[in-house]
Structure 1
C-alpha cells in the first residue's frame, strides 16, 4: 500500500471489501497467517488444546498398558521357570 492511499481504495483495486482487508490485517498482526504462508492448515486454538489433552491421555494409557504387558511377561517367565505353566504346543502345531 502506497503512503496516502486509503484502505477502501486498496480494497477496491484488489476487488475485495474494506472489511475483508481489515480482517486480514487483524489476523496478520495476530500471527494467524504464519500457517497460511507456510501452506499449513489453520485450526482454532481450542481444538488444538483439546487434541493436545487427548494426546496426553492416550500417552498415559499407552504407558500403563506397556507396564502391564511387561509385568505379565515377567510373570509368565517366572511361572515357566517354576514349571507352574506346562509348555505345550499351540493348537495347529505352532510353537510360540
Structure 2
C-alpha cells in the first residue's frame, strides 16, 4: 500500500450553506434521466448535483402522482393546493358551526316568545266569552 495518496482520487463535495430551489421542469428532466435503461440513480444524482435520497423522493412522488392521475383519469393536485383547500374547508366548517348555533338560539327564543304569547292570550280572554 502506498504511503501517499493523490488528492485527485477523492471527490470533495462542499455544501453551499443554503438550500437550492429546483424548478419543476428541472426536477422532471432529472427524474426522466433515472428512468432510462441502465441509469443509476446515484450516478444521475451526482451528475446533477442532487442528493440521491432527494432524487429517490422526486422519483417516487412523480411515479405515485402519475399513477394516481392515470387511475383516476384526472390531473394531479399539488400539496400546496390541497393544503389551501383543507384550510378553506376548516374555515367553512367553522362558519357552519357558528350559523348552526345561531339557528338553535333563534329557535329557542322563538319558542319562548310563542309560549309567552299563548299565555298572554289565554289570560286576556274572558272565560265566559263565545267566539
Which band: TM-score by shorter chain?
Answer: 0.5 to 0.7
Give structure 1 regions of 4+ aligned residues with deviation exceeding 6 angstroms: none
* 1:94 counterpart residue number: none
* 1:22 counterpart residue number: 32
2:73 equivalent to 1:42: no
Root mean square deviation of aligned Cα: 2.9
Shift of 1:43: 1.4
Give unmatched runs, 5+ long, in structure 2. Answer: 1-28, 36-54, 121-131
For structure 1, which segment, 55-64 or 36-45, has the greater mean C-alpha deviation from structure 2 after superposition? 36-45
The structure 1 residue matched to 2:93, chosen from 36, 44, 59, is 59
**Scaled by the length of structure 1, what TM-score is found?**
0.57
> When the two structures are aligned, how many residues end up with a matched partner?
67
Give unmatched runs, 5+ long, in structure 1. Answer: 1-18, 87-96
2:101 equivalent to 1:73: no
**Scaled by the length of structure 2, what TM-score is found?**
0.43
Look at both structures and tell me which one has the larger radius of gyration over its CA atoms: 2
